[in-house]
Amino acid sequence: MLENIIEFKQKLIEEKNRIEMELRKIASQDSDGDYKAEFEDYGREREDNASEIENYTVNLGVTESLETELEKIKLALKKIENGTYGKCEKCNKDIPKKRLEAYPAAQNCVDCK
């Protein structure tokens, strides 16, 4: 698996960059590094207000989902750095290569998932 670490790291970095770019489109980052969905002001009309609320609600869910995935990727990158990448967090067995190829931020093997 060590021969694939560079490949997995590159995939994780690419996905991290993609997610951060997506988050910047719909959210702002606070001083703690957390993302907050932005509430856009479309105007004062009733239809504008409804659109604002609808878009904010969608962006809130997307922001939370992307931020959760971003945290998993950051954790996987830390594990690469400290030499624990590819180990199941529950049973400590190696996570199969095929699982990591499909989802490089996997934290558990298939059995423990």
CA pair distance 80, 2, nearest whole angstrom: 10
With respect to residue 91, please indicate whether it lies within any of the assigned structural domains: no
What integer pLDDT is reported at residue 47 of this predicted model? 64
77-100 pLDDT tens trace: 999 999 999 999 999 999 999 999
With respect to residue 97, please indicate whether it lies within any of the assigned structural domains: no
27-45 pLDDT tens trace: 888 877 788 877 665 556 6
Domain enclosing residue 54, as ranges? 2-85
With respect to residue 11, please indicate whether it lies within any of the assigned structural domains: yes
DSSP secondary structure code for residue 29 in this structure: E
Read off the pLDDT of each residue in 36-64 and give the average, rounded to a whole number. Answer: 72
With respect to residue 79, please indicate whether it lies within any of the assigned structural domains: yes
CA pair distance 90, 24, nearest whole angstrom: 33
Q: Which residue has the higher pLDDT, 55 or 110?
A: 110
Q: Which of 76, 95, 62, 60 has its CA nearest to residue 16?
A: 76
Domain tally, the chain: 1
